[in-house]
């Protein structure tokens, strides 16, 4: 596993050297995200191989779709609405729940199970 961490570190440094001078802090944030996803993916594969547990590919695909939809909504809000950052964050935070429900990442039955039971 240390190879995955070393590769992620090298990727992060390389991306920072190439992208930081041109894109600044946004590049640093994106580089960190890319490297964290890479290490998380490596851990998923490692755990699956060592335990024999199958990876939930369908769930991972739905998570990726939800992330893509949220990114698209963020881009649309940034490009079309020109809202203050706090209002944009609130709007997208409120939109995240419906996106999770629409993509099937979260089911209504799971939400109902979290609610207190009536006596």
Domain boundaries, the chain: 1-55, 56-119
- pLDDT at 42 (0 to 100): 87
Flag whether pLDDT at 1 surpasses 60.
no
Report yes or no on whether pTM surpasses 0.75.
no
Distance, CA of 37 to CA of 63 (rounded, Å): 13
Give residue-wise pLDDT tens across range 35-93: 888 888 888 888 888 898 888 889 989 999 999 999 899 888 888 888 888 898 899 99
Distance CA 67, CA 64 (A): 5
**What's the whole-number average pLDDT of the chain?**
88
């Amino acid at each position: 596993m240390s190879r995955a961490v070393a590769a992620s570190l090298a990727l992060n440094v390389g991306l920072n050297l190439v992208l930081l001078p041109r894109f600044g802090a946004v590049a640093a944030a994106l580089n960190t995200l890319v490297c964290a996803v890479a290490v998380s993916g490596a851990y998923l594969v490692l755990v699956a191989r060592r335990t024999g547990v199958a990876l939930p590919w369908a769930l991972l695909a739905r998570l990726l779709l939800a992330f893509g939809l949220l990114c698209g909504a963020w881009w649309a809000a940034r490009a079309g609405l020109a809202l203050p950052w706090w209002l944009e964050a609130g709007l997208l935070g409120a939109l995240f729940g419906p996106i999770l429900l629409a993509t099937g990442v979260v089911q209504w039955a799971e939400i109902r199970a979290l609610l207190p039971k009536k006596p």
